[in-house]
Each structure stands twice: as C-alpha cells, then as structure tokens.
Amino acid sequence: MENTQQRVGVIGGVRIPFCRNNTAYADVGNFGMSVKVLGALVERFGLHGLELGEVAMGAVIKHSSEWNLAREALLSSGLAPTTPGITTARACGTSLDNAIIIANKIATGQIEAGIAGGSDTTSDVPIVYSQRLRKRLLAVNRARTPLDKLKTAVRGFSFSELKPAFPGVAEPRTGMSMGDHCEKMAREWHIGREAQDRLALDSHRKLAVAYDAGFFDDLVIPFRGLKRDGFLRPDTSMDKLAGLKPAFDKTSNHGTLTAGNSTGLSDGAAAVLLANEAWAARRGLKIQAYLRDAEVAAVDFVHGEGLLMAPTIAVPRLLKRNGLTLQDFDFYEIHEAFAAQVLCTLRAWESADYCKNRLGLDAPFGSIDAAKLNVNGSSLAVGHPFAATGARIVATLAKLLEQKGSGRGLISICTAGGMGVVAILERP
C-alpha cells in the first residue's frame, strides 16, 4: 500500500482563564466551558457553519449526563451540526490524547481537520447516592406492584443510606492520593522542599511576564470577569512559599509538597484546531507548527514504581523512534502537576542506574537546558483543570514555535493511574 501519510498542522488554540474551584466558574460546568472555548475557536478561525471531520473533547470529572459532552458542546458552538464528536478521558493527558486522536485521523487521510480539547470542573462535581440506596432504588424500580415497591423501599431501610458519595481523589488500587504518591517519589529521588518552591516561583514569574508581554492575548479568552488565570501570584516569593505547611504528609515532619508547589483544584477549558496543509491553505489559515509524533506509556505503580514516572519511559521511546536526543529541542513543556514530579523526571533522566535498569539505555538520557523549560510558566501558576491541560500546552507550544520561526518542542504530561502522554511539535 502506498504511504499517503499527511503532515498534521496545529492552526492554533484558545482557552478560558483557569481558576480555582468554587469561584468564577462554580455554576458553569463542563458543558458551558466547552461551548465557550469551542465557540471562541469557531470565531477566531472563521469556522461558523463548517463541517469538520471530528471534535474530540474530554472531561475527567463529569456527570453521567455528560457522556456525550463533545457532541452536545459542538452543537452549540457554531460548527455545522453534521460534525461528529467523541468524548474521552485519560486523566491529565485527556486533551493531548485528543490531539493525537485527531492528528492520527488527519495523517491517515480519514479527515482533513478537527478540534481537540477538554474541560474540567471541581466545583460542579457529581454527587451520587450510596451503593445501598442505589441498589434499593433499582430494586424498587423492578418491583411490579405498588405494594411490592413500598415494601422494597422500606424493608431494612436506614437513614445512613441517604449520605451522599463524593468523587474520590485517591488511586483505587492503592488508596493513596496523587500527592501522597508524589511525596514518595520526592523521597526516593531526594527532591527537597526548596527546589520545589523554586520551580513553583519560577512558574509564577514566567507566566506573569508572558501575560505582561501580551503572549496570551490571542490564546486566553476573557470569561466571567476573568482575563488572567486565577492561580497566578506575581508577588509570591520564596519566603511566602516556605511559610506554607505540607499539604499531604502532615505528620512525619518530612512532607515537602505544599499548596504552593502543587497544582490546586481547578476549573477551565481549552481547545486547539488541527488540519492538513491542503485544508489550511484552502481556508487561508497559517500553520503554527506540526504535530510530528506521540507516545503513551504506563508504570506498575501498584508494586512500587512512582505513580507519575511514566513520562520518563514514554519520552525515550518516542525520541528513539524519531532519531532524536533529549537535547534536540528548543522548548520543553513538562506539565507541573507537582514541582516534585517535574524534578523527579529530570533527575531520573540524569541517573545512569535508572536509565540502564529501567529504560534499557547504555548511558544516562541526559539533562535539559533549564532556560528552555516551561518558558511561559505552566500548571503550578496557570492551574490544572485535568482534561484541559494538554490542549493548553499544545496551543502554547505551537505559538512559541511560530514566534521563533523554526524549532522543535517536547510535551510531557503525567496522569493519574500511572500513565504518561508525550508528543513532539516542530516547525521546519
């Protein structure tokens, strides 16, 4: 079969400001935020009434009624109602995964253009009945006569059944939160508190500078009175960060993860437009960068591996396949779930032992130039609505490459469940 793979262009992306939960977007929800960013993307690139090949949107925390979120949101976005939609979830990697889904369809010629994105809210969370009450209600529904229904409803009933169940934040396999797991990683890799706080401070400073320079003027759409991310603290300092108490390990006196060097519970949404070169040319749209390749990996965190270390495995696989080294990049966008996670990743790639015994490499994978890391800030300062982060990073990196004129960027995102999603963007 003739190889007809096409290059996949990133046309551009938009997002709303990310904010703390229970603040500006508390009553908006995933649907409202998704409609906002999709509509903004339609307006920015003149897509009104246009049929696209696919819209892939996702959300991690969503109501059961939002099973068709992507399709429902696009129907309110201004796109042609004949545009298909798919709703996905892979924790923090969701919208980068969606970019990969769209890119693969474009590369193989299945579609010419599509949108990838995601939204998440920790304000409007699904609150469900207890398991006992759910079973009781289902049994009542199955009962045939009114009397049988009444008997089923009251037999053995306890008011404790009325206690609602909230979404869990712990890993089901370990019962530990992501922060608890990251504390273990920080101890294993000897990542201290000061280094974590320093990375967090740098993230805030870089983001503030980028906003002041106008970098986000066309990337961030004002919404609900916000023009900048609600997490941004331009006036923070090492002293202020040092004054925060541990957020996860509160009893051992050795906890290093705090509210300042960990991402907070966030609300927000982001989306990015991808297309092949012919489609972009017909519509007079410029391509900012190309999505060259991607990789997904997982670790056995249940039996001792670090929960958030999968990107350390995915990146070497990706670069080997593409004949690249870790130093062959102009920008590195490593998602800052926790400052410790970023620092553990970098230290692992520098470790001869880890690279030999876990990655199967003959030598350390190497170091990166810190000046090229998250140059406009990242999740610690921006916020982290789980399913929106990947699209935010793709749009940010594509614009960075367009501004530079040429170059290559690496995206690395760790996820719950011990997985990692990584990708390469480039501009020849």
* DSSP run (H or E) holding 10: strand 9-15
- In 229-351, alpha helices (H): 238-242, 277-282, 310-321, 339-350
CA–CA gap between residue 72 and residue 68 (Å, rounded): 6
**How many other β-carbons are positioned within 10 Å of the β-carbon of residue 221?**
21
* Residue environment code for 40-49, b if the CB has 16+ CB neighbours within 10 A, otherwise e: bbbebbebee
Catalytic residue selected from 19, 92, 182, 344? 92
| Catalytic site includes residue 414 | yes
CA distance 243 to 55: 44
Q: Which of 19, 182, 355, 414 is catalytic?
A: 414
Is 19 tagged catalytic? no
Beta strands 419-427 and 289-298 are antiparallel
Question: How many other CB atoms sit within 10 Å of the CB of residue 358?
Answer: 16
Length of the chain, in residues:
428
Distances (CA, A) of 85 to 12, 51, 115, 134, 384: 19, 11, 9, 31, 24
Q: How far apart are CA 314 and CA 53, in angstroms?
A: 28
Told to judge if 384 belongs to the known catalytic residues of this protein, a careful annotator would answer yes
Residue type, 302: V
Say which DSSP state 246 is in. B
State the catalytic residue, choosing from 181, 204, 335, 384: 384
Give the CA count within 13 Å in the CB-facing half-sphere of 280: 20
Q: How far is CA 106 from the centre of its chain?
A: 22
Active site residues: 92, 384, 414
